[in-house]
Copies of this chain bind each other. A is one copy, B any other.
Amino acid sequence: MAIELKELTKRSVNYSEWYNQLVVKADLAEQSDVRGCMVIKPYGYAIWEKMQRILDDMFKQTGVQNAYFPLLIPKSFLSREAEHVEGFAKECAVVTHYRLKTNETHDGVVVDSAAKLDEELIIRPTSETIIWNTYKNWIKSYRDLPLLCNQWCNVMRWEMRTRLFLRTSEFLWQEGHTAHATREEAEERARLMLRVYAEFAEKYMAVPVIQGVKSETERFAGALDTYTIEAMMQDGKALQSGTSHFLGQNFGKAFDVQFLNKDNKPEYAWATSWGVSTRLMGALIMTHSDDNGLVLPPALAPIQVVIVPIYKNAEQLEQISQRVQSIQENLRQAGISVKYDDADNKRPGFKFADYELKGVPVRLVIGARDLENGTVEVMRRDTLEKETLPLDGIEARVQQLLDDMQQNIYRKAVDYRDARIYECDDYEEFKQKVKQGGFFLCHWDGTAETEARIKEETQATIRCVPYGYEQTPGVDMVSGKPAKCRVIIARAY
């Protein structure tokens, strides 16, 4: 492993390659033999589980309930909402048959052509259609509203170029789908869920995000407004990390979901949908990690503390293990996850490199000498700083260190990002600077033409109109036309 670690490409040499290697070397995920689909390995999945648990609690605190809707969607459902089908039908897995049979040479199986479906089924790329088809039966009166459902599930979009966690054909996510009696309530719910995502990203992932509204071009297919959180990676590129959509009455009308309002008159229900996915894993990895491997925020680290004994013989190991016992128990009682690694087939140096690679926040090393002196060597993963401390009361110090690190990596990420946000009013300057990454606050005339030209000439896209910038008039740097506001433009994942 120490040897493999050396082979981790440095970020400065090739950031993209560094990411690809790190995901695999740190045992987070790997490509499967199924095109574009990944295997999430236990260590990676443990982080995702922590994310799920926290997000799920946050959703429930806003009144959301979980449910489960079918994986497969009848082809005709997709066509009901005109924009939606344009956005999703072009890249989906289609189920056409429901049986295999033994082949003629009896050494394999083939599709049984007699078992052809009357109507093809699509593996959900997102579930608005099947869910609103269901809501039709659940919503009759304003008293049935709001309806606030979420599901944790897998979805599939047939991607041509895939990267682990960032873009895979199958991915895991949650998708919330709410129905409301009024436009205002639905819009407020869409913004509320974006705030939940932003709070989660900043407080638990330690990833600072900018909240804003997407341009029409970048909107979810079928939405009237798409709200987004945008994070900056260490190469200055943007990663869209979560979106929340105000869908108006588009799906209410497409699936004829009407309710009787307080005046006993029929109205179409108002909708939102919102989702975050295993893409968050990519944001987490790329924001904090370094050339030695992962750096994980303590709040999401599967192992928060690792204890490594240094010993020359069984007697020394026994003494160290005895002393470590109570430290482990105390840490666990404080809700801290600890691993004591006394494996005898790996040298300490190997273990050190491995836990650095895996991003374990705190490492305690105890040798025979430490035991005599009543000390322990403590290393924090974010700065790699070591200090020797008294064994007595080490639990409190570890707790403090974890809190410090959570704050520190967040501050570091904020500083990094803020130093790379530029107000820019000159297109030539923009074209030069954008190559180095960063977020550019530029005036935009609001036209799709200008947006397309920027994208074509610079590969950068309008990420959002950030909150607070809705009313910042000026002159579009590209077209010279009047602009209502500044937008954030950046190259993005």
Chain A interfacial positions (CB closer than 8 Å to B): 30, 32-34, 37-42, 45-46, 48-49, 65-76, 78-79, 85, 89-101, 107-109, 111, 120-123, 130, 133-134, 137, 143, 149, 153-154, 156, 158, 170, 172, 345
Q: Which of B68, B73, B120, B143 contacts A45 (CB 8 A)?
A: B68
B99 near A158 with CB under 8 A, answer: yes
Known: A65-B42, A66-B45, A154-B153. A75 touches B100 (CB 8 A): yes
In the assembled complex, 9 residue pairs joining A and B whose CB atoms fall closer than 8 Å, in A order, are A34-B70, A37-B70, A39-B67, A39-B68, A39-B69, A75-B108, A92-B98, A92-B100, A94-B96
Chain B's closest residue to A346 (CB) is B143
Chain B's closest residue to A64 (CB) is B42
Chain B's closest residue to A33 (CB) is B133
Known: A97-B94, A345-B143. A71 touches B134 (CB 8 A): no
CA of A46 to CA of B60, assembled, Å: 11
List the B side residues contacting A170 at CB < 8 Å.
70-72
List the B side residues contacting A101 at CB < 8 Å.
89-90
Q: Which of B68, B90, B149 contacts A100 (CB 8 A)?
A: B90
A95 near B93 with CB under 8 A, answer: yes
List the B side residues contacting A45 at CB < 8 Å.
65-68
A32 near B69 with CB under 8 A, answer: yes
Chain B's closest residue to A68 (CB) is B40
B42 near A67 with CB under 8 A, answer: yes
B122 near A100 with CB under 8 A, answer: yes
Q: Say how far A223's CB is from chain B's closest CB, in angstroms.
A: 20
List the B side residues contacting A172 at CB < 8 Å.
68
CA of A67 to CA of B72, assembled, Å: 23
CA of A100 to CA of B78, assembled, Å: 10
List the B side residues contacting A111 at CB < 8 Å.
75, 94, 96, 120
List the B side residues contacting A89 at CB < 8 Å.
99-101, 109
Residue of A38, A70, A111 ringed by the most chain B CB atoms within 10 A: A70
Q: Which of B96, B109, B123 contacts A85 (CB 8 A)?
A: B109
CA of A33 to CA of B119, assembled, Å: 12
Q: Say how far A115's CB is from chain B's closest CB, in angstroms.
A: 8
CA of A110 to CA of B130, assembled, Å: 18
CA of A137 to CA of B41, assembled, Å: 12
List the B side residues contacting A42 at CB < 8 Å.
65-67, 149
B76 near A108 with CB under 8 A, answer: yes
B154 near A121 with CB under 8 A, answer: no
Known: A34-B130, A42-B149, A73-B34. A79 touches B108 (CB 8 A): yes
CA of A170 to CA of B69, assembled, Å: 10
Q: Which of B34, B46, B78, B345 contacts A109 (CB 8 A)?
A: B78
Q: Which of B37, B39, B85, B158 contacts A98 (CB 8 A)?
A: B158
CA of A170 to CA of B79, assembled, Å: 23
CA of A102 to CA of B109, assembled, Å: 32
